[in-house]
Structure 1
Amino acid sequence: MVHLIAGFPSLQGFTEAARALRAGGAEILEIQIPFSDPTADGPDITRASEAALRGGFKVRDIFKYLRAARQAGFRRILVMTYANIPYRYGIKKYVSDLQKAGVEGLIVPDLPLEDEESFYQLARQKHIAPVPVGVVGMPARRLKLLEPYHKLYISLRGGTTGTATRISAETQKFLSQLSVRHEVYGGFGITSARQVKALAPFVHAVVVGSYFTRTLQEAGRANAPIYQSVAGALRKLL
């Protein structure tokens, strides 16, 4: 599962990156709608989101990027953003419009499970999967709140994205137990083939985001072709 930011570096650049990722074997694409005040993003994704917003990205532009992702070959697409955006858009319309666009699931990392104001219920009614976010090692009382959800995004550690993550035996055990009942996507700080190999047996999808954002940033600075840059970065993970 790979993560790209709508609006970064451009629609054409996004499309080239998506094509390279799909051709290289990525199965699920998580598209982030950029937001000006993120809480879970590390510096690379934050800078990329800021660049997208400076470039004029608007929330309704997400549908252009969804079409581009499908044209690139992705059939499984999730949309991630922060709660302010769907609530300002109107949660009923947000869920409905993204369901009509063929989105499989919705991720809102700063939406509290105890006070989600019917967002997840509305998603289920539209046959679109709500994907709550948990963290490795979260206490049993918090895990109980995740039980009703089929798909889970599990952060491999606290903090923000981008910093390297150690895949410990405790992490593997935690994920394997969750994976019995849920479809688990595990991410945060995946930057090497060693990490992918250590994580893959214990989740349904390894999530890689900041790594590819940095690849796009480096390609831009070097004026290098995006498709080849992203394809090469993906091969290093396999």
Structure 2
Amino acid sequence: MNRLQQLFAGNKKDLLSIYYTAGYPTLSSTLDIAEALEKAGADFLEIGFPYSDPVADGPTIQHSSQTSLDSGMDLNLLFDQLADLRKRVSIPIILMGYVNPVIQYGVERFCKKAAEVGVDGLIIPDLPMYEYETLYKKTFADNNLSNIILVTPQTSDERIRKIDELSDCFIYLLSSASITGNSLQMSDGLDAYFKRIEDMQLKNPTIVGFGIADKTSYQKACQYNRGAIVGSAFVKFLGEGGDYLSGIDGFVKRFK
């Protein structure tokens, strides 16, 4: 098992994942942030590789992506930066981004490099499930990489069952079909959505993302799921300036 599968094979609940964009707020900050997040208590991390047209992301992550790209970040540089990842960080690491840069880099080459630097999983939201299953599933498996697939409130039960069949660590539940950065709305509809997924008794646990910005929304997500992902709120924190590395411990303590 990779580190991600080992984490989810255990019984630990209220898992906290943090997303941030590689190369933001400074080009060289990628590993320093990862190390600080692990020390602060994050259970696993999602490192985003920037793309020029991040259609599912809100203004905060869009800005971080553009800043990173303008500074010179690309996949070659990211993998160079991650060469020392496992000398400094032990928790599971996921790379998250759009499929276009991966295809341009070469899917097999991308997966091989990710495995070499110690990445455990990939989240590529716009990689069609059919293409993954028919073209790339073996490549992911050969490199011991988990593919994390997204579910929205509008996803049919049939598709969710298929996603569960193709998954091997966790399923990423979007709290809404909106873009990143919108606050998690406490509503009967959200409860019904979480309960619906819980009642399906899927073999894979679920983690909630989009809109987790404070302890209340984090606890709401954890009520029905194994944990939650904080993204835009952390990226916004990084962009506020100051000594962000020393502030990461306090940020994580806002949630757990």
TM-score when normalising by structure 2: 0.83
- Match in the other structure for 1:198: 220
Root mean square deviation of aligned Cα: 2.0
The answer to whether structure 1 residue 20 and structure 2 residue 36 are counterparts is yes
Match of 2:203, SS state, is coil
The answer to whether structure 1 residue 55 and structure 2 residue 68 are counterparts is no
- Match in the other structure for 2:9: none
Residues 126, 14 of structure 1: alpha-carbon distance in 2 compared, 3 angstrom cutoff: closer
Q: Deviations over 1:53-97 (max 9, x none)?
A: 000112112224434654543430011110101111111111111
Residues 47, 179 of structure 1: alpha-carbon distance in 2 compared, 3 angstrom cutoff: farther
Q: Select the residue among 10, 13, 23 that pairs with 1:7.
A: 23
The answer to whether structure 1 residue 40 and structure 2 residue 62 are counterparts is no
- Match in the other structure for 1:152: 171
Separation in 1, partners of 2:201, 2:87 = 31
- Match in the other structure for 1:165: 184
Separation in 1, partners of 2:77, 2:151 = 28
CA contact (8 A) 1:113 1:145 kept: no
- Match in the other structure for 1:76: 92
Match of 1:103, SS state, is coil
Separation in 1, partners of 2:154, 2:139 = 29
Residues 16, 128 of structure 1: alpha-carbon distance in 2 compared, 3 angstrom cutoff: closer
Separation in 1, partners of 2:191, 2:135 = 36
Separation in 2, partners of 1:184, 1:178 = 12
- Match in the other structure for 2:148: 131
* 1:182 Cα deviation from its structure 2 partner: 0.6
Separation in 1, partners of 2:243, 2:68 = 19
- Match in the other structure for 2:118: 102
Q: Which amino acid aligns with 2:230?
A: V
* 1:179 Cα deviation from its structure 2 partner: 6.5
Residues 26, 175 of structure 1: alpha-carbon distance in 2 compared, 3 angstrom cutoff: farther
CA contact (8 A) 1:175 1:203 kept: no
Separation in 2, partners of 1:102, 1:165 = 32
Separation in 2, partners of 1:67, 1:152 = 28
Separation in 2, partners of 1:62, 1:7 = 8
Query: Identity of paired residues, percent?
Result: 25
Separation in 2, partners of 1:157, 1:126 = 31
Relative CO higher for 1 or 2, CA cutoff 8 Å, sep ≥ 6? 2
Stretches of structure 1 that go unaligned for 5 or more consecutive residues are: none
Stretches of structure 2 that go unaligned for 5 or more consecutive residues are: 1-16
- Match in the other structure for 1:89: 105
Separation in 1, partners of 2:83, 2:27 = 11
- Count of residues in Structure 1 that have an aligned counterpart in Structure 2: 234
TM-score when normalising by structure 1: 0.89
Separation in 1, partners of 2:235, 2:23 = 12
- Match in the other structure for 2:255: 237
